[in-house]
């Protein structure tokens, strides 16, 4: 499938004026303007009020970025950084979960006789004070530690998948903003060239009115067209600046004067069709689905841990007593067993069951939405490709042909100036619509690839 020239392999920053050149050549040449008025060629081409400086270069505009550079910056912007901090916290929770209860050291002094006194001698060896040092430790039963660790690891896996999903979202936003900027730059190039051309035509028309060769009505029409073109240029400049700011926001750039360079529009016939089996595989491997699956696994582990609470944890301990006058080597052994009388952790288990059911519902819903999203992305890309192809191979060539026919007819005196201006206005609008269609296809294709085959755009799996 071929692409029409000015959009097939154009790169950002390349100043091409197919529509503007055609308008200038037509309106300046029609009716033998220059043949009849050689003296007018020696005068300035356009009044100062309509003169437009050539758009500034990338060095003057600001930082020049390729698409790869913009995507690389978006992979590590502030949103992704925050997601990575969440991941670091989740990994720290794994360390918190994977340890046994800490032992407790207990010391005490008892049996102190306040009536007769503890007796003479050293307080540690002779006085009649019952001194004790012991250690107590809780024995977790029911694999509570392993289940706690499993739940924390699954939560960390979900946080890791969240980082990947956040990166994809930011890459999609950066790609869309980049192509918006690229289209805005080329749109500004087109309308700026048109403004210069129509400014020249308006200046020539004014001089022809003074010479009596052109009616004031036709001159006013050319002047109106020039003023409309100037307003279009101002709007295009604002759109370009807005697009540059949007790209700076998503990439974390501190400068607003960004420019897209060295990035061709994607070809319209380079992607293979995706089958339903491919969609199912891609949907299951999406980061948001992996995160939902990990959270369901964490909820399952938490439910198992809640059920394990029915196995009471025993606290075992031992202490050594020193009681001069009775014995200086006494040992105490003890065990504490919670008695689950009247309550067997029904509340904790019920909460865990509800959380597990909610996680399962979220997983199924995420899988369904992921598949639907891929279907939507594929449909959007296909529709955008067809629309861009229609402009590339049908609408735009016909608009050029109509403009050529109108030019020829005007030269032969078959149509009025207004008909010629209408044809050129239609060509101008069609060129800009074709550019918008190219941008829509580039954004749709990029969003599709970032969800299915991101390595084709980022160079990373």
pLDDT score of 55? 39
Res 185 pLDDT > 50: yes
Domain annotation covers residue 2? no
Residues 120 and 199 in one domain: no
Question: What mean pLDDT do residues 399-406 have?
Answer: 88
- Tens-digit pLDDT profile for residues 253-272: 876 688 999 889 998 876 67
The count of structural domains within the chain is: 2
Residues 188 and 110 in one domain: no
Res 361 pLDDT > 60: yes
pLDDT mean across residues, the chain: 83
Three-state SS for the chain is: CCCCCCCCCCECCCCCCHHHHHHHHHHHHCCCHHHHCHHHHCCCCCCHHHCCCCCCCHHHHCCEECHHHHHHHHCCCHHHHHHHHHHHHHHHHHHHHCCCCCCEEEEEEECCCCCCCCCCCCCCCCCCCEEEEEEEEEECCCCHHHHHHHHHHHHHHHHHHHHHHHHHHHHHHHHHHHHHHHHHHHHHHHHHHHHHHHHHHHHHHHHHHHHCCCCHHHHHHHHHHHHHHHHHHHHHHHHHHHHHHHHHHHHCCCCCCCEECCCECCCCCCCCCCCHHHHHHHHHCCHHHHHHHHHHHHHHHHHHHHHHCCCCCEEEEEEEEEECCCEEEEEEEEEECCCCCCCCCHHHHHHHHHHHHHHHHHHHHHHHHHHHHHHHHHHHHHHHHHHHHHHHHHHHHHHHHHHHHHHHHHHCCCCCHHHHHHHHHHHHHHHHHHHHHHHHHHHHHHHHHHHHCCHHHHCCC
Question: What mean pLDDT do residues 323-333 have?
Answer: 85
Residues 431 and 415 in one domain: yes
The confidence band for 22, taking pLDDT boundaries of 50, 70 and 90, is low
CATH at residue 27:
1.20.1600.10
Query: Which has the minimum average pLDDT: 139-148, 317-326, 416-425?
Result: 416-425
Domain annotation covers residue 189? yes
Res 102 pLDDT > 60: yes
The confidence band for 62, taking pLDDT boundaries of 50, 70 and 90, is low
Residues 117 and 47 in one domain: no
Residues 121 and 92 in one domain: no
Question: What mean pLDDT do residues 241-262 have?
Answer: 87
Residues 65 and 195 in one domain: yes
Question: What mean pLDDT do residues 199-209 have?
Answer: 81
Res 34 pLDDT > 70: no
Instruction: Quote the distance between the C-alpha of residue 124 and its chain's center.
Output: 71
Domain annotation covers residue 13? no
Res 110 pLDDT > 70: yes
Domain annotation covers residue 54? yes
User: Which of 431, 422, 421 lies closest to 27, judged by CA?
Assistant: 421
What percentage of residues in the chain have a pLDDT greater than 70?
A: 85
Res 357 pLDDT > 90: yes
Residues 400 and 272 in one domain: yes
Domain annotation covers residue 148? yes
Res 9 pLDDT > 50: no
Domain annotation covers residue 7? no
Domain annotation covers residue 118? yes
Domain range enclosing 316: 101-139+312-340
Residues 158 and 226 in one domain: yes
Mean pLDDT comparison of 106-115, 193-202, 310-319, highest-scoring range:
310-319
Mean pLDDT comparison of 50-54, 209-213, 344-348, 418-422, highest-scoring range:
344-348
Residues 155 and 36 in one domain: yes
The confidence band for 23, taking pLDDT boundaries of 50, 70 and 90, is low
pLDDT score of 50? 29
How crowded is residue 377: how many other Cβ atoms within 10 Å of its Cβ? Answer: 22
- Tens-digit pLDDT profile for residues 121-165: 777 777 888 889 999 999 999 999 999 999 999 999 999 999 999
Domain annotation covers residue 325? yes
Residues 64 and 129 in one domain: no
What pTM was computed for the model? Answer: 0.78
Question: What mean pLDDT do residues 164-189 have?
Answer: 95
Residues 284 and 366 in one domain: yes
Residues 134 and 148 in one domain: no
């Amino acid at each position: 499938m071929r692409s029409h020239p000015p959009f097939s392999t154009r790169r950002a920053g390349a100043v091409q004026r197919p529509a503007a050149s055609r308008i200038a050549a037509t309106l300046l040449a029609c009716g033998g303007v220059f043949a009849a008025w050689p003296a007018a060629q020696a005068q300035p081409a356009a009044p100062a009020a309509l003169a437009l400086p050539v758009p500034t270069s990338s060095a003057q505009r600001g930082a020049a970025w390729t698409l790869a550079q913009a995507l690389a910056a978006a992979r590590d912007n502030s949103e992704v950084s925050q997601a990575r901090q969440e991941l670091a916290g989740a990994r720290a929770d794994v360390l918190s979960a994977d340890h046994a209860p800490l032992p407790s050291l207990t010391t005490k002094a008892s049996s102190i006789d306040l009536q007769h006194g503890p007796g003479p001698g050293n307080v540690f060896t002779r006085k009649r004070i019952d001194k004790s040092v012991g250690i107590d430790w809780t024995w977790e039963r029911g694999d509570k530690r392993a289940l706690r660790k499993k739940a924390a690891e699954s939560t960390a896996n979900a946080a890791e998948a969240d980082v990947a999903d956040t990166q994809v979202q930011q890459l999609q936003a950066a790609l869309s903003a980049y192509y918006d900027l690229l289209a805005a730059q080329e749109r500004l190039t087109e309308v700026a060239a048109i403004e210069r051309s129509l400014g020249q035509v308006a200046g020539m028309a004014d001089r022809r009115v003074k010479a009596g060769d052109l009616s004031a009505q036709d001159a006013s029409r050319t002047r109106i067209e020039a003023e409309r073109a100037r307003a279009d240029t101002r709007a295009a400049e604002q759109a370009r600046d807005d697009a540059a700011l949007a790209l700076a926001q998503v990439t974390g750039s501190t400068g607003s004067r960004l420019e897209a360079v060295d990035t061709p529009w994607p070809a319209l016939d380079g992607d293979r069709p995706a089958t339903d089996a491919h969609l199912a595989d891609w949907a299951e491997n999406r980061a948001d689905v992996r995160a939902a699956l990990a959270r369901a696994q964490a909820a399952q582990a938490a439910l198992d841990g809640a059920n394990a609470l029915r196995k009471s944890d025993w606290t075992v301990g031992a202490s050594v007593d020193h009681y001069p006058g009775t014995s200086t080597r006494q040992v105490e052994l003890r065990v504490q067993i919670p008695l689950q009388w009247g309550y067997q952790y029904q509340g904790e288990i019920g909460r865990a069951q509800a959380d597990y059911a909610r996680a399962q519902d979220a997983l199924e819903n995420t899988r369904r939405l992921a598949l639907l999203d891929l279907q939507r992305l594929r449909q959007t890309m296909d529709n955008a490709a067809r629309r861009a192809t229609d402009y590339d191979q049908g609408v735009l060539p016909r608009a050029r042909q109509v403009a050529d026919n109108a030019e020829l007819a005007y030269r032969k005196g078959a149509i009025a100036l207004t008909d010629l201006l209408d044809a050129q206005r239609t060509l101008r609008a069609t060129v800009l619509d074709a550019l918008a269609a190219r941008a829509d296809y580039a954004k749709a294709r990029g969003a599709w690839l970032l969800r299915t085959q991101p390595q084709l755009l980022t160079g990373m799996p």
